[in-house]
Chains A and B, each alone.
Chain A
């Protein structure tokens, strides 16, 4: 069982969402990632930081639901 050193880092505070309700923050990071993928292509690593942010903020259940919606073409975000 190899013990990888984990990097203790997380999504920084986003001043577009300064208050307690971070729902929009999670959602924004999610579709920013997918917009970035669309723009830059799946190969590039530049979009990875958005992926880290939305994974830190959004519950797994929500991510899975949105992934399914995207696959079915019914995702409500501005993609």
Chain B
């Protein structure tokens, strides 16, 4: 039984696309942006640990040697031009090493996607999201629009995630450039999905655009990330990435249903 549990815990092949209890690290990346963020994090963490160890060593040794009996005579050095130059130049070099990948990622995140295939509008309400897929409208009347409410704990089925599941998921095609337009109908909200590396504020009266390219099919969970009232913690986001053909089928089915 214990060996079985050991295997379950350490040799799983399922992706982590939702928050896990006691999670320490990032969720698994599903977009190039998120992968870039994780890689940048590794780069910075390397320097961070070097600096942390060095600073901690300095602090601890200062505390250790501050003893009237073992070190009665203190140092009285007040100047040291060489060392002052070194401890100015050296951190600037480290900052440069950090800045290069950081700016590369930042600017690549801002690249304009000239030809997205799909535009989806996510409209924040108190306390649910509305998704509009209006690329297929033939008139100003709504075609593919639906609300996405959290499934309450009492209605969860076995295996579903508490506070994360919704009744209607955002179905999107994988391997396709998506344009998300985020806005709000009342107060500030924020549309965030960690696996996709997306967090975009929903501001009333403003349309915020973010581009996503989901690299693998799967179901990705996120939560509202801007305080918006009493049920701020209970308006999650679930994105379901399917293959292109299935997406077309889903859209057709939804359009048929909504027109009937």
Contacts and interface: CB of A to CB of B under 8 A. Distances in A.
Interface of A: 1-13, 15, 18, 20-23, 25-26, 52, 55-61, 63-64, 67
B209 A20 contact: yes
Contact of B119 (A4, A7, A10, A15): A10
Interface in B218-260: 244, 247-249, 251-253, 255-257, 260
Interface of B: 112-119, 121, 123, 132, 134-137, 140, 142, 145, 173, 176, 179, 181, 183, 185, 205-210, 244, 247-249, 251-253, 255-257, 260
B137 A55 contact: yes
Given A20-B209, A59-B181, 9 more contacts: A3-B256, A7-B136, A10-B116, A15-B112, A20-B210, A57-B119, A59-B183, A60-B145, A61-B123
Chain A interface mostly helix, strand, loop or mixed? loop
B142 A22 contact: no
Contacts of B248: 5-6, 8
14 contacts: A1-B256, A1-B257, A3-B249, A8-B135, A9-B117, A10-B116, A10-B119, A12-B114, A26-B207, A55-B134, A57-B119, A57-B121, A60-B140, A64-B140
A8 B173 contact: yes
Nearest to B121: A59
Contacts of A67: 140
